[in-house]
Chain A
Amino acid sequence: MAKRRVEPLLWLLFSSGGLAAALLLPVLLLFFGLVFPAGLLPVPARAHLLSVAHNPFTRIVLFGLCVLALFHWAHRFRYTLYDGLQLKRLSPLIMVICYGGALAGSGIAGYLLLGL
Chain B
Amino acid sequence: MSGNDTEFHPRWYRRRMSVFWWVSRRSYLIFVLRELSSVFVAWSVVFLLLLVRAVSQGGPEYQQFVDWSSAPWMLALNVVALAFVVFHAITWFNLAPQAMVVRVRGKRVARSQVALAHFAGWALLSALAAWLILE
Contacts and interface: CB of A to CB of B under 8 A. Distances in A.
A41 interface: yes
A23 B121 contact: yes
Contact of B78 (A29, A65, A72): A29
A84 B29 CA distance: 10
Contacts of B122: 22-23, 26
Interface residues of B, number: 48
Contacts of A43: 66
B100 to A, nearest CB: 11
B82 A31 contact: no
A77 B42 CA distance: 10
Interface of B: 17, 19, 22, 32, 35-36, 38-39, 41-42, 44-49, 51-53, 55-56, 59, 62, 66, 69-70, 74-75, 78-79, 81-82, 85-86, 88-89, 92-93, 96, 121-122, 125-126, 129-130, 132-134
Given A22-B92, A66-B45, 5 more contacts: A18-B92, A69-B44, A73-B38, A112-B56, A116-B56
Nearest first, the 10 A-B pairs at minimum CB distance are: A33-B78, A37-B70, A22-B89, A73-B42, A76-B38, A27-B126, A37-B69, A22-B92, A46-B62, A73-B38
Interface of A: 17-19, 21-34, 36-39, 41, 43-44, 46, 49-50, 52-53, 58, 62, 65-66, 69-70, 72-73, 76-77, 79-80, 84-86, 105, 108-109, 112-113, 116
